[in-house]
Amino acid sequence: MSTLIWHEVECGSYDADLSLWEDLAAGASGPILDLGCGSGRVALHLGRRNHDVVAIDNEVDLVAALIDRAQGLPVQGLLADARGFELDTDVALALAPMQLIQLLTDPVHRRECLACTTAHLPPGGRIAMAIVEEIPAPAVGAAPVPDVREVDGWVYSSLPLETFVEGPEIVVRRLRQTVSPAGVLSEEENEVRLSRIGAAELETEGIELGLVPFGRLHIPATDLHLGSTVVVLGPDS
């Protein structure tokens, strides 16, 4: 349950990228793959717009929540690892939202994900991956704003503490606080590490696997989230 709760708190309300995925999906002539789908933020949005979506994640609680919410929608949730999965169909478009590809900090794992995804793309297929390339300097005097959600009388708050570069990685630190219905506060720090890979480097890795770059798109920053570059790759023929 805690995995689902914190995923919902920190990611569930994010919608700055949805119009971009919707535009890409509108141009796809077949099923769409949502890599690292979580509880279905992107997959369900596209499913409600009548797109056939296969959504994979390696967290049991997240996939279970997606399956429950996808009732009546053309969305299939599967428990699978983005570094190695097997689908019973090809997909016209594969999406890797919210820096999924950068969570694979080992270059070997990143290439495994690209190779496995490429194996499911027909000619004309595309894979679109959102990455953070730069960390802007914090605004002077601006206090961080927490993501907050209340569930059954429990209040969950996730406060951004700092984002910094450490060697080949971007480190994102948050303070997670929980207040029970009785008013008891508990808290813990959480840390996420992202690979420091730029668009050009990701394109090069794709080229080495036989993919061709098809441009870059942009997702604007919000008060709570950094802006992203979306790298689009596809088979040569």
Q: What are 82's strand-pairing partners?
A: none
Structure-token pair, residue 27: 């141009």
Rounded CA gap, 113 and 35, in Å? 9
Q: What are 211's strand-pairing partners?
A: 235
147-151 and 126-131 beta bridge pairing = unpaired
pLDDT in tens, 6-54: 999 999 889 999 999 999 999 999 999 999 999 999 999 999 999 999 9
Which ranges constitute the DSSP H helices of 27-99? Answer: 41-47, 60-69
Neighbour count for residue 101 (Cβ, 10 Å): 26
Rounded CA gap, 211 and 234, in Å? 5
Q: Residue 75: what residue type?
A: V
| Backbone φ/ψ region at 153: left (φ over 0), alpha (ψ -120 to 50), beta | left
pLDDT in tens, 126-153: 999 999 998 866 655 567 788 999 999 9
Which of 189, 186, 214 is CA-nearest to residue 202? Answer: 214
Domains and CATH numbers, the chain: 2-133+197-235 (3.40.50.150), 147-194 (2.20.25.110)
Rounded CA gap, 67 and 50, in Å? 16
Across the chain, mean pLDDT equals 94
Flag whether the pTM goes above 0.85.
yes
Do the Cβ atoms of 77 and 59 come closer than 8 Å?
A: no
Do the Cβ atoms of 68 and 61 come closer than 8 Å?
A: no
